[in-house]
């Protein structure tokens, strides 16, 4: 899959995409990330890509000409692509959207800056996306989030690790608590069921804990979850447990 990123600050992407899983995926040819400088398409010799807003106000606005020209130049490089403007006004980025993007042949991400992008740019993109209801200094960090979330879903990117199909947010539920060695840490013990070797008991415990955790911490997600009869039984049993040492350990570590 090809990711084309349009930005005023291309140097920001030098390190993040060279490390860890994404770096390995690029080396293996599973993912291509190309960063393009919007200023290269500015019309004046000073490469001005921003100007003051019409109607007054604070800050600067990214001009439409260099952004649209950069987009058109990148689109022309082929293959067909979906162009996304990273914007606070866009639809909220989610795991389902990451899955959708991961199935594309090419994705173009446009990073906004300053007080925003001239509204006319919206007419030249396919959609607008926001990674959350908070303010960043620019869309570069948002682009990194989108690339990371989508790229890791591409077959082969995660190598021999567990399939992303089983991860949190494939359905609207949080992941169950995870533990590793040592068995006891500062008086907090790993739940005995995880040491039992009973795979079915472990499965039920993990599902129950995922349900319980989602209901407590993310009721918005829990309200969208379709519970099976087994889910209801597991959740009822989990919520009726006494506040045992194991339960306390789950809350502290989780």
**Of 106, 235, 94, nearest in space to 168 by CA:** 94
Residues 6+ apart with CB under 8 A from 144: 13, 16, 17
Give the DSSP H/E element, type plus range, for residue 85. strand 82-92
* Nearest partner of 207 among 176, 229, 239, judged by Cα: 176
Q: 141, 37 in Cβ contact below 8 A?
A: no
**Cα atoms in the Cβ-side hemisphere of radius 13 Å centred on 172:** 13
- The alpha helices in the chain, defined as continuous H runs, are 20-27, 64-75, 95-102, 140-151, 199-217, 219-222, 229-239, 245-253
- CA 224 from chain centre, in angstroms, equals 20
114 belongs to an annotated ligand binding site: no
Q: Does the annotation place 135 within a ligand binding site?
A: yes
Torsion sign over Cα 165, 149, 36, 29: negative
- 68 sits in the region (left: phi over 0; alpha: psi -120 to 50; else beta) called alpha
133 is in an annotated binding site: yes
Q: Is 173 annotated as a binding residue?
A: no
Overall residue count recorded for the chain in this entry: 254
Annotated binding-site ranges: 112, 131-136
Annotated binding-site ranges for S-adenosyl-L-methionine: 112, 131-136
């Amino acid at each position: 899959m090809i990711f084309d990123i349009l930005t005023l600050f291309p140097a920001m992407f030098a390190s993040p995409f060279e490390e860890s899983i994404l770096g390995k995926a690029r080396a293996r040819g599973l993912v291509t990330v190309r960063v393009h400088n919007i200023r290269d398409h500015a019309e004046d010799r000073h490469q001005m890509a921003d100007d003051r807003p019409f109607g007054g106000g604070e800050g600067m606005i990214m001009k439409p000409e260099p952004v649209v020209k950069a987009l058109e130049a990148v689109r022309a490089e082929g293959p067909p692509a979906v162009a996304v403007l990273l914007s606070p006004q866009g639809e909220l980025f989610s795991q389902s959207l990451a899955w959708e993007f991961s199935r594309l042949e090419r994705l173009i991400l446009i990073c906004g800056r300053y007080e925003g992008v001239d509204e006319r740019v919206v007419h030249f993109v396919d959609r607008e996306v926001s990674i959350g209801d908070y303010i960043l200094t620019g869309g570069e960090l948002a682009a990194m989030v989108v690339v990371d979330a989508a790229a890791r879903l591409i077959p082969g990117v995660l190598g021999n690790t567990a399939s992303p199909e089983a991860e949190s947010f494939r359905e609207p539920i949080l992941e169950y608590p995870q533990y590793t060695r040592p068995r006891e840490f500062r008086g907090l013990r790993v739940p005995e069921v995880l040491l039992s070797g009973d795979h079915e008991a472990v499965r039920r415990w993990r599902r129950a804990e995922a349900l319980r955790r989602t209901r407590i911490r993310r009721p918005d997600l829990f309200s969208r979850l379709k519970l099976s009869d087994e889910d209801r039984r597991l959740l009822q049993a989990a919520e009726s447990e006494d506040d045992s040492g194991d339960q306390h350990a789950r809350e502290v570590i989780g």
